Amino acid sequence: MSTRDEQPLPGAGALISARGLRKSYGRTEALRGASLDLHEGEILAVTGASGSGKSTLLHCLSGIVRPDEGTVTYGGEELGGLPEGRLSELRRRDFGVVFQFGQLIPELTALDNVALPLLLAGTRRGEANERAGEWLERFGVRGQADLRPGGMSGGQSQRVALARALVTGPRAVFADEPTGALDTLAGEQVMTALVHTARESATAVLLITHDAQVAAYADREVGLRDGAVHSGSAQAAGQEAVRREG
Ligand SMILES: Nc1ncnc2c1ncn2[C@@H]1O[C@H](COP(=O)(O)OP(=O)(O)O)[C@@H](O)[C@H]1O
Ligand SMILES: [Mg+2]
């Protein structure tokens, strides 16, 4: 068994650094020593077969799940050392998450779904609604503002889910197969919206996909197999991000 002391140091300049993550569910070892750096403003694709540990890695990096072993460092703080309250505050303020099936709140309209993270952060209702409306507009779903998720197409609800993930201005967005349930055209619209916004605001994106066309939107790709990174560089320097700026 590896110990923390044997893990390489968190990557210099990385926004989020994972080192030696291990996580088991019963006898299933979902992660077996996965290490990864996500740099500021970088779009990083994580690919791998079903069951290779991609979602578990995303859950650990975003502070949703605590790994059994290993560390996740964000802005110099180790997530594992934070009390639950501080961790959920950080998640709300600095991270956005999008899942394969939007996971919008079915009882709320599109507008209310997007306004919710702002309300939770203490923004007044009027301002929250205004900003939520702007984000719906940006993603081409303002016309759906008053609809509940059940009344929208898959592509529309994913764009609402993106708006919800980005409305608070997070430093990092975690997207778990965001186009996995969409047809090609709707998938392209969602990816274009995500990539465009992330570039504009220098938001880092960890993008899980097993679609090569989707991975092509990323600056860099890392492959997972059996719960560990097996291809691409876990620690590749932020050169890609720098190149993009040029
Ligand atoms: N909450 C859970 N309970 C039990 N087993 C789980 C859970 N989450 C993941 N696993 C198992 O861990 C392994 C990796 O899962 P996951 O991270 O979802 O992989 P991927 O996203 O690459 O398909 C799989 O064998 C899966 O069945
Ligand atoms: Mg998964």
Distance, CA of 226 to CA of 237 (rounded, Å) = 24
Is any atom of ligand 1 closer than 6 Å to the C-beta of 54? Answer: yes
Is any atom of ligand 1 closer than 6 Å to the C-beta of 27? Answer: no
241 pLDDT higher than 50: no
User: What pLDDT is stored for residue 22 in this prediction?
Assistant: 98
Ligand 1: which residue has its CA nearest to atom 25?
Answer: 51
User: What pLDDT is stored for residue 246 in this prediction?
Assistant: 39
Q: Which two tokens stand for residue 118?
A: 């702002």
**What confidence category does residue 2 fall into, taking pLDDT thresholds of 50, 70 and 90?**
very low
Is any atom of ligand 1 closer than 6 Å to the C-beta of 179? Answer: no
User: What pLDDT is stored for residue 144 in this prediction?
Assistant: 97
Mean of pLDDT over the chain = 89
Ligand nearest to the backbone CA of 176: 2
Q: Name the residue of 21, 22, 28 whose CB sits within 8 Å of the most ligand 1 atoms, as the mutation to test its pocket.
A: 28
Atom of ligand 1 at shortest distance to CA of 53?
Answer: 17
Chain center to CA of 12? 21
Ligand nearest to the backbone CA of 223: 1
Mean pLDDT of 136-142: 93
**What confidence category does residue 4 fall into, taking pLDDT thresholds of 50, 70 and 90?**
very low
- The HSE-up count of residue 225 (CA atoms within 13 Å, CB side) is 4
User: What pLDDT is stored for residue 239 in this prediction?
Assistant: 43
User: What pLDDT is stored for residue 231 in this prediction?
Assistant: 80
Ligand 1: which residue has its CA nearest to atom 20?
Answer: 51
Q: What is the pLDDT of residues 28-74, one digit of tens each?
A: 999 999 999 999 999 999 999 999 999 999 999 999 999 999 999 99
Q: What is the pLDDT of residues 220-229, one digit of tens each?
A: 999 999 999 9
103 pLDDT higher than 90: no
User: What pLDDT is stored for residue 10 in this prediction?
Assistant: 64
236 pLDDT higher than 90: no
Q: What is the pLDDT of residues 149-205, one digit of tens each?
A: 999 999 999 999 999 999 999 999 999 999 988 889 989 988 999 999 999 999 999
Strand partners, 207: 45, 175
Is any atom of ligand 1 closer than 6 Å to the C-beta of 48? Answer: yes
Ligand nearest to the backbone CA of 22: 1
53 CA from centroid of ligand 2 (Å):
7
Full set of structural domains in the chain with CATH? 4-239 (3.40.50.300)
End-to-end alpha carbon distance in the chain = 44
5 pLDDT higher than 90: no
User: What pLDDT is stored for residue 75 in this prediction?
Assistant: 86
Quick check: helix, strand or coil at residue 165? Answer: helix
Quick check: helix, strand or coil at residue 223? Answer: strand
Is any atom of ligand 1 closer than 6 Å to the C-beta of 56? Answer: yes
Is any atom of ligand 1 closer than 6 Å to the C-beta of 228? Answer: no
99 CA from centroid of ligand 2 (Å):
9
User: What pLDDT is stored for residue 213 in this prediction?
Assistant: 86
Q: Provide the edge-to-edge strand list for the sheet that holds 69-74.
A: 28-39, 14-25, 69-74, 77-78
Question: What are the E-state strand segments in the chain?
Answer: 14-25, 28-39, 43-47, 69-74, 77-78, 95-98, 172-176, 204-208, 220-225, 228-231
Nearest alpha-carbon partner for 191 in 170, 171, 212: 212
43 CA from centroid of ligand 2 (Å):
18
**What confidence category does residue 11 fall into, taking pLDDT thresholds of 50, 70 and 90?**
low
Ligand 1: which residue has its CA nearest to atom 1?
Answer: 25
Atom of ligand 1 at shortest distance to CA of 52?
Answer: 22
134 pLDDT higher than 70: yes
